[in-house]
């Protein structure tokens, strides 16, 4: 097995960087994709595959392709990509404008939208704390599980992962 196969992080389609990498991104950040005037960040642990990004820009976001985000398409201008990313209800996608365009700003009003037999979508300046009062996550968009079980807490070190497989079986 080659070094590249052992450490998939060596290529664009690989795993996150090694733990001792001095340029390491935030722990739960899976990938970054940079295009014309914008950088898209993908947090896989937050993704529940709602598909809003796919519907908004199917050429740019294609879950069958690797890498699944391709910002080289002509329609992938920073404004359109930012708009598509903000459609993600879970916060799995975020962006950073590199062209001086507007960054995402969380609304001061929090909006909660329950999805039938699904998660609770939260939008706004949302903060989630644990029982000890420690901040777990602060974000402008997230989805949390609504079942009566402990899966509404933290999964894999990240809050707001929709536990559809287990929760759907138990409902």
Co-location of 91 and 129 in the same domain = no
Report the pLDDT value the prediction gives residue 144, as an integer from 0 to 100: 86
Q: What angle do CA 3, 4, 9 make, to 5 degrees?
A: 120
Q: How many domains does the chain have?
A: 2
User: Which H or E element spans position 113?
Assistant: strand 111-114
Q: What's the rounded Cα separation, in Å, for the pair 144 and 131?
A: 16
Last residue of a domain, one of 97, 126, 151: 97
One digit per residue, the tens of pLDDT, for the chain of length 171 reads 344 333 333 334 444 445 555 444 455 778 999 999 999 999 988 888 999 999 999 999 999 999 999 999 999 999 999 999 999 999 999 999 999 999 999 999 999 999 988 889 999 999 988 889 999 889 999 998 877 554 443 333 444 444 544 454 444
Q: What's the rounded Cα separation, in Å, for the pair 43 and 28?
A: 6
For position 87, which CATH number holds? 3.30.70.20
pTM, two decimals, is 0.74
Domain extent for 153 = 111-170
Last residue of a domain, one of 43, 66, 97: 97
How far, in Å, are 49, 69, 94, 120 from residue 43 at the CA level?
Answer: 12, 13, 8, 18
Co-location of 79 and 139 in the same domain = no
Co-location of 7 and 70 in the same domain = yes
Asked if residue 124 is part of any domain, the answer here is yes
12: which 2 tokens?
A: 């664009």
The dihedral over CA atoms of 90, 93, 94, 100, expressed in degrees to the nearest 10, equals: -130
Co-location of 142 and 93 in the same domain = no
Report the pLDDT value the prediction gives residue 64, as an integer from 0 to 100: 94
Question: Among candidates 165, 162, 26, which has minimal Cα distance to 88?
Answer: 162
Report the pLDDT value the prediction gives residue 95, as an integer from 0 to 100: 98
């Amino acid at each position: 097995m080659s070094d590249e196969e052992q450490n998939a992080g060596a290529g664009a389609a690989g795993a996150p960087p090694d733990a001792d990498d001095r340029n390491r991104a935030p722990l739960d950040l899976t990938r970054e994709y940079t295009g014309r005037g914008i950088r898209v960040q993908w947090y896989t642990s937050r993704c529940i595959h709602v598909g809003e990004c796919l519907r908004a820009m199917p050429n740019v976001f294609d879950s069958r392709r690797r890498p699944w985000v391709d910002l080289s398409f002509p329609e992938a201008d920073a404004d359109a990509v930012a708009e598509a990313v903000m459609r993600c209800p879970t916060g799995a996608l975020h962006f950073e404008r590199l062209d001086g365009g507007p960054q995402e700003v969380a609304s001061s009003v929090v909006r909660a939208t329950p999805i039938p037999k699904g998660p609770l979508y939260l939008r706004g300046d949302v903060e989630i704390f644990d029982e000890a009062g420690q901040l777990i996550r602060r974000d402008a968009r997230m989805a949390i599980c609504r079942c009566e079980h402990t899966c509404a807490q933290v999964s894999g070190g990240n809050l707001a992962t929709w536990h559809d497989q287990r929760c759907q079986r138990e409902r």
